[in-house]
Homo-oligomer: A and B are copies of this chain.
């Protein structure tokens, strides 16, 4: 019986070449999930099952870059199986590596599509400030030697909020589709050695959160001014925005659906 299975997944992206499966590597999150599901419904051998033309496709709400983490990625997959949702979850967690976890499995309606139906996403970017090294968080934060001016960063962040053409913040120079997105909130929290940036929007372009983060950090260090943001957006030129903050500081926190 065909079911549309919805999954909430956490992963530590450190070892992986991103979400999307690729020809040259089996080290992708999508690839790992599909291999385990094919093994589950095919009865053991994922390769033979795939060759029979019965491979499965896991659709993720977004395609995280290499090294980016997720606390709650949403994905769905059409499966022909008699297993219950709980049996699927237990099976997957048994065979997935330690750095990928399936937290929740439910049956969705036939037309649920984790990417097309996503209404919003929350990303968090984490900086660690100081010359004491973040031993236990070292794979999940980007280290800054000196503190940026967070007040200035907040001023600049306000100017990013809204519906804009974010072409200047798009990491894909050959992007053909619309680069208009709505960012409805950017919150910047300071707590001890941490500075955490929370971005919420209806969708993000390739590297967009990391480029916004890099740009805000340049404002925090006085290399750019909050009032430069408008011209950066207007210019629609990647060269105008700041650097791309490193992947390991970024985590997809949540995907919203209606």
Contacts and interface: CB of A to CB of B under 8 A. Distances in A.
Copies in the complex: 2
A131 B90 contact: yes
Interface string A120-136: 00000000000111111
Interface stretch (A60-68, A94-102, A230-238): A94-102
User: Size range of the interface on A?
Assistant: 20 to 34
A99 B131 contact: no
Interface string A16-27: 000000000000
A98 B135 CA distance: 6
Contacts of A103: 132
A147 to B, nearest CB: 17
Given A98-B138, A136-B140, A93 B131 contact: yes
A101 B132 contact: yes
B135 A11 contact: yes
A74 interface: no
A10 interface: yes
Contact of A135 (B100, B133, B138): B100
Contacts of A133: 10, 93, 98, 101
